[in-house]
Amino acid sequence: MSFKKKWLLPAVAVTVLLTGCQDTDKEKSKETSTEETNKENVTQEAPSIKNAKQINVADFGAKPDDNKDDTDAITQAIEKSKEEAVEVVIPKGTYDTNKTIEVNDIKGLHIKGEGAIIKPKNPMTNPPEFYTMRLASSKDALSEIEIEGITIDGSKNPQDLYFTMKKADDFYKTAMTKGIAITNTKNLNIHDVNYKHMYGGYAIFAQEYRDVNIQNVKLEDVGGDDITDSFGMAIYLSGHKDDAVVNIDKVVSNAKTSKRSKEYMGWIGVVYENGTIQDANEDNWLKDQNTTINVTNSTFNDYETTFHVESTYGNVYWNTDDVKTRAKSYFIAAGVNGELRERSNNVEMNLLPFGRNDIVHGVYYTEGMKPKNYSFDMYNSVVNNIEIDGKRSPISAVYANNTTATFHNTTFNDVSNRLVANGTGTFIDSVVNLTKEANKNELGEFSENTQKINLEKSTINEAPKKTSAQNGKVPEKLKSTNKPIPKRENPLAPADLGREVAPLKAE
């Protein structure tokens, strides 16, 4: 990632030509052969985890609170899912693991923690590939995987690594903590799971999936910096085939920050990145169609960026409702070759004035995009420009690369400099409250004549000359009025996916 130009993965098509035969027996033989070939190519149906056989990690030797390595015992219990769909119970207590819990070819798996705490210790045999858990089903039989009721505590590994790595190679010498990596699932449910004291990797990594539900997940003191691409992301969604829907609801993520500098924080809250090189064989590359991501009722604090999208294949539909965030930028899109339709509603953002990446983003930033193929719309939201050490963000709303964004009924507080730079920003029924340093006539800065700022339907309030506007304070009459979002002929979340996301089990 890191805003480098992506390789465009060429489409691969394999055409099978069947030569017709006059002879009836040969024709029947050909039909039989075709049926057998089709059977081989059809993804097998994995068994449901509903009413799956229940097993207990205690039966395999796992004992909580004894300070002994439970990796093999937990792995052996989960390996039963290679035979049939199982529910693996992990009783309450603390379990120590000293290597990755890794199981492939899963038929169906429900990990049911009863308040269990897993404390992984990275052995540094191959740190970039170390996870607390790596779980995968067969690529030809996508299975159901559900995980609940556990806490991953990375406190046995180094905690404050900011400033210690001088070059990328140091990444391979560093004992970092990653969470759970899931590959090849038709239904992935992760709920009522906690992460804490983890530095350096993804908390949740998913690749090749169809329906994903992430709900009631808390991340405290989890993250890292941006020296390498795998650092500091709370949720990472990689490539997939076909259509996929991801629901992220009631996630509270407070990133790890350095005690030595306010500028060293987590990198990204939620990433969707499709189209990277997943395999040396091009035939195995994942080329998705439509991806719909819904983020609701969630909080992401102390990140360089709240949400980030890169996708060399397919269309991306991103919806956000009722989100609070403290970050340097809200949404970044880079190299999306299909459609990108983003819609945010009721967002409260505290815009930080700095971060480790020197690029200034503002609320919305794009790179390598095609304006006619994407849209960004923010409704009924508040963006507070936070002052730290006398600094506020130099750009509040839109930045870079012919970015086009529309803000509906949104309030920007304490704008000290530009609203828009090198992009186009349209502000409808919105309010911009300036500090005394801001110039009402210099809210835009452009490098091309196609870029512009449109404030005709909005209100600009200059601060009194003697005192600046109070940080975060909005006069009652200027608050967003929570107007309804206009209905659209083409909803962002595609209605033609032909299926519904599997709901979480009732508590």
* Per-residue pLDDT, 226: 53
Helix (H, G, I), strand (E, B) or coil at 2: coil
Task: Report how far residue 340's alpha carbon sits from residue 395's, in angstroms, rounded to the nearest whole number.
Answer: 23
Residue 316 lies in a domain: yes
Q: Domain count of the chain? A: 1
* Per-residue pLDDT, 212: 96
Residue 9 lies in a domain: no
* Per-residue pLDDT, 165: 65
Residue 502 lies in a domain: no
Residue 17 lies in a domain: no
| pLDDT tens per residue across span 95-121 | 999 999 999 999 999 999 999 999 999
Average pLDDT of every residue of the chain? 80
Asked if pLDDT for residue 350 goes beyond 70, the answer is: yes
Share of residues in the chain with pLDDT > 70 (%): 75
* Per-residue pLDDT, 484: 64
Least confident of 31-35, 55-59, 95-99, 169-173: 31-35
* Per-residue pLDDT, 338: 82
107 token code pair: 């038929």
Task: Report how far residue 75's alpha carbon sits from residue 78's, in angstroms, rounded to the nearest whole number.
Answer: 5
Least Cα distance to 379 among 452, 487, 476 occurs for 487
Checking DSSP bridges between strand 133-136 and strand 180-199, what pairing results, if any? parallel
For residue 227, what pLDDT band results from cuts at 50, 70 and 90? low
Helix (H) or strand (E) holding 86: strand 86-90
* Per-residue pLDDT, 368: 66
Residue 30 lies in a domain: no
State the DSSP string of 111-134. Answer: EEEEEEEEEE----SSGGG--SEE
> Domain of 198?
53-497
- Cβ neighbours of 130 (radius 10 Å): 22
Residue 215 lies in a domain: yes
**56, exposed or middle or buried, with CB in 10 Å at 0-12, 13-18, 19+?**
middle
Spatial contact of 262 and 205, defined as CB atoms under 8 Å apart: no
The stretch 449-454 carries a mean pLDDT of: 90
* Per-residue pLDDT, 467: 43
Residue 69 lies in a domain: yes
CATH number of the domain enclosing 124: 2.160.20.10
Please tell me whether the overall predicted TM-score, pTM, comes out greater than 0.75 for this model: yes
Residue 505 lies in a domain: no
Residue partners of 91: CB distance under 8 A and separation at least 6: 56, 57, 58, 64, 114, 116
| pLDDT tens per residue across span 388-405 | 989 999 999 998 876 889
Asked if pLDDT for residue 8 goes beyond 80, the answer is: no
Beta strands in 339-391 (DSSP E): 340-351, 362-367, 374-379, 382-385
Q: Which stretch, 85-94, 154-163, 170-179, 480-489, has highest mean pLDDT? A: 85-94
